[in-house]
Amino acid sequence: MKTLILICSTIYIVVLYTVANSQTPYPKNWDFTSIGQTGDDWKLVLGPTGNAGAHGGQLCFNQTGNYIDNQYYSFESDTIDLALWTEGELLFSVQQNIRNGDKLYIYYLDGVDMLWYGWDISGENGVYLVDFPTTAILFSVDFNTNTNGNINGKYVHIDYMYITDPGGTALPVTLLDFNGHAHDNSNHLNWSTASESNSDYFEVEHSLDAYEWTSIGTVPAAGNSNMTLGYSMIHESPRFAINYYRLVQYDWDGVFEIFDTIAIDNRKKEKRIVKYVSLSGKEIDPESTIGLVIGIYDDGTTSKVYLK
């Protein structure tokens, strides 16, 4: 169990907030789609696994209805490296209905003195913004239910957590979109930018599980631009599976940004005949027809079929 030794900053309620770009190549927008799996941002390090974890894109302490009494839960993030950051800001959204005496905290581990610091957010609801030092090396969310009372209808949900450097230098590319589609035996990938500054090149990475990535090619960037520019790449002969792609942008100094992942479903689908027609084109009932007819498949193709 961690001990809160410092409430290090005032908590500001945020109604509307635009996240600033950071000069680090790894700005963190933590994903709560799943917890503790390979490649996940967070893991449960203390507390029962059956009642706390990811649910509907949130970090939840009441997956099975109500949270459990007399427990101490602790989720921890992966380690982070903020050596290039000038400042640290944490933006998070929380929704909770807890008993008097139950406590909810957000902590960070300071890499200098290896002590935990943080904020008591028990009972808070809404979007909040707090400052933290760039010596932080990981974060945690801790919930202590060591009190008495009815737990019916009690819950804690962390909707999202985002850390950024408001004083950092903006990354060089404003990406408008990144999408793709299957065509014949290839996948066509397209993206566009609204502006570019000192951008060197784009790298397209491919994966079959969205965890292990391999580069499939690079495309030179414009360098500097204040107009909309379009880019494309073709991935020939992708696997008959769900293929994942992500875009990595590098600037001339080697700083890079990884954009969101997209998926293209290339699984081979079995065709099925949706109707039969005679050789003259008239639809027929296959149950009462004998002889050579034409079968029309669900993809619009046809074949000759002999009905017995």
Of residues 171 and 77, the one with the higher pLDDT is: 77
For residue 2, pLDDT beyond 80:
no
| Per-domain residue ranges of the chain | 12-164, 173-265, 273-307
pLDDT tens digits for 172-231?
A: 788 999 999 999 889 999 999 988 888 999 999 999 998 899 999 999 999 888 789 999
**Percentage of the chain surpassing pLDDT 70?**
90
Mean pLDDT of 277-306: 84
User: What predicted TM-score, i.e. pTM, was given to this entire model?
Assistant: 0.54
Mean pLDDT of 71-90: 89
Q: What is the pLDDT of residue 16?
A: 35
Residues sharing a CB contact under 8 Å with residue 270, sequence separation 6 or more, in sequence order: none
CB-CB contact of 189 with 180 (8 Å): yes
Q: What is the pLDDT of residue 294?
A: 86
CA angle 62, 66, 69 (to 5 degrees): 100
Residue 12, amino acid:
Y
Mean pLDDT of 83-95: 88
Q: What is the pLDDT of residue 118?
A: 95
Residues sharing a CB contact under 8 Å with residue 271, sequence separation 6 or more, in sequence order: 297, 298, 299, 301
For residue 20, pLDDT beyond 60:
no
Which range among 69-78, 99-108, 224-233, 251-260 shows the weakest confidence by mean pLDDT?
Answer: 251-260
Closest of 179, 297, 182 to residue 240, by C-alpha: 182
Q: How many residues does the chain have?
A: 308
CATH number of this structure's domain 173-265, picked from the four choices 3.30.565.10, 3.30.1280.10, 1.10.260.40, 2.60.40.10? 2.60.40.10
Residues sharing a CB contact under 8 Å with residue 290, sequence separation 6 or more, in sequence order: 307, 308
CATH class of 12-164: mainly beta
Which range among 130-139, 149-158, 240-249 shows the weakest confidence by mean pLDDT?
Answer: 149-158
For residue 113, pLDDT beyond 80:
yes
Closest of 67, 72, 46 to residue 146, by C-alpha: 72
Predicted confidence band of residue 306 (pLDDT cuts 50, 70, 90): confident
Q: What is the pLDDT of residue 171?
A: 58
Q: How far is CA 264 from CA 179, 188, 289, 297, in A?
A: 9, 10, 41, 23
Predicted confidence band of residue 6 (pLDDT cuts 50, 70, 90): low
Predicted confidence band of residue 21 (pLDDT cuts 50, 70, 90): very low
Mean pLDDT of 43-71: 86
| Residue 267 to residue 188: CA distance in whole angstroms | 16
Q: Please classify residue 67 by burial: count the beta carbons closer than 10 Å to its beta carbon, then call 0-12 exposed, 13-18 middle and 19+ buried.
A: buried
pLDDT tens digits for 154-165?
A: 999 998 898 888
Q: What is the pLDDT of residue 17?
A: 32
Of residues 178 and 68, the one with the higher pLDDT is: 178
Same fold yes or no, 12-164 and 173-265: no
Predicted confidence band of residue 295 (pLDDT cuts 50, 70, 90): confident
Q: How far is CA 206 from CA 45, 144, 203, in A?
A: 31, 42, 10
Q: What is the pLDDT of residue 13?
A: 45
For residue 39, pLDDT beyond 90:
no
The gap between the terminal CA atoms of the chain, to the nearest Å, is 75
Of residues 270 and 267, the one with the higher pLDDT is: 267
